[in-house]
């Protein structure tokens, strides 16, 4: 907001999402603090509060609000948070095909996918859900450790693994939705 006339200003170019949400630029974050910050920021800039303001400010408010939503979603989810952190450090996410070196891991992903593709069986689905959760927690811990010791290449590899499990989680969710 402009200190003089209190009119809403546009968001700056290329904002740092961590700084925007008041978090240190690290993989480990305080989720509750992030949520509090999200709510208080939205209270200040949400378009619903700018209905009576000039069109330009209404437009800025939409931009701010979208940006804050994007920042919140990015930082809330460990995978997107990790990938964003890599991006800030100038490390591109994994692009090359995973093959021989990761065959054990890929086989595991393949097997879980195959089980998920089978006709619905509540027990198996629960088993898979637990397995995915456990793996995601493990990977999150490992990614935290990698970032803490500044091992960005290891973080990159682990985040790639997390992506496979994130996809499985989505497929599982879709399977649970009654059609």
Partner 1 sequence: VAVGDAVPSQVVDHYENPRNVGSLDRNAKNVGTGLVGAPACGDVMKLQVEVDENGKIVDARFKTFGCGSAIASSSLATEWVKGKTIDEALKIKNTDIAKELCLPPVKLHCSMLAEDAIKAALADYKLKQDPNKEESEKKA
CB 75 within 8 A of CB 83: no
* 130 is an interface residue for partner 1 by CB under 8 A: no
Binding range to partner 1, per CB under 8 A, among 30-38, 110-118, 119-127, 143-151: 110-118
Which phi-psi region, left, alpha or beta, contains residue 6 (left: φ > 0; alpha: ψ -120 to 50)? left
Question: Smallest gap, in angstroms, from Cβ of residue 132 to partner 1?
Answer: 13
Q: Examine residue 179 and tell whether it contacts partner 1 (CB under 8 A).
A: no
Q: Is 177 in the site for partner 1 (CB under 8 A)?
A: no
Could you give the CA distance from residue 136 to residue 140 in angstroms, rounded to a whole number? 6
CB closer to partner 1 out of 62 and 102: 102
Identified binder of partner 1 from the candidate list 114, 118, 123, 150, rule CB under 8 A: 114
Among the listed ranges 26-34, 36-44, 91-99, 126-134, the one in contact with partner 1 (CB under 8 A) is: 91-99
Among 46, 76, 102, 154, binds partner 1 (CB under 8 A): 102
Q: Token digits for 33?
A: 């603090």
Looking at residues 154 to 173 of the shown chain, list those that interact with partner 1 (rule: CB under 8 A): 160, 163-164, 166-167, 171
Query: Applying CB under 8 A, does 113 fall inside the site for partner 1?
Result: yes
- Start-to-end Cα distance in the chain: 47
Give residue 24's region: left, alpha or beta (phi > 0; psi -120 to 50): beta
Query: In the structure encoding, which two tokens stand for residue 43, read together?
Result: 């209270």
> Count of CB atoms within 10 A of residue 1's CB?
12
Furthest C-alpha separation in the chain: 64
Q: On the CB side of 142, how many CA atoms lie within 13 Å of its CA?
A: 16
106 binds partner 1 (CB under 8 A): yes
Taking CB under 8 A as the rule, does residue 94 contact partner 1?
Answer: yes
Reading the block at residue 77, the tokens are 């989810």
Applying CB under 8 A, which residues contact partner 1?
Answer: 93-100, 102-103, 106-107, 109-110, 113-114, 117, 160, 163-164, 166-167, 171
């Amino acid at each position: 907001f402009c200190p003089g006339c209190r009119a809403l200003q546009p968001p700056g170019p290329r904002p740092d999402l961590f700084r925007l949400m008041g978090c240190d630029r690290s993989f480990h974050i305080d989720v509750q603090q992030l949520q509090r910050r999200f709510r208080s920021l939205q209270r200040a800039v949400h378009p619903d509060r700018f209905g009576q303001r000039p069109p330009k400010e209404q437009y800025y408010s939409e931009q701010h609000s979208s940006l804050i939503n994007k920042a919140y979603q990015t930082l809330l989810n460990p995978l997107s948070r990790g990938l964003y952190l890599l991006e800030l450090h100038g490390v591109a996410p994994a692009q090359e095909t995973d093959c021989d070196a990761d065959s054990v891991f890929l086989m595991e992903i393949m097997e879980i996918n195959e089980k998920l593709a089978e006709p619905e069986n509540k027990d198996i689905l629960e088993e898979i859900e637990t397995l995915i959760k456990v793996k995601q927690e493990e990977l999150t811990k490992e990614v935290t450790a990698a970032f803490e010791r500044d091992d960005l290449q290891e973080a990159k590899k682990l985040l790639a693994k997390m992506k496979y499990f994130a996809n499985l989680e989505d497929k599982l969710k879709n399977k649970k939705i009654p059609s």
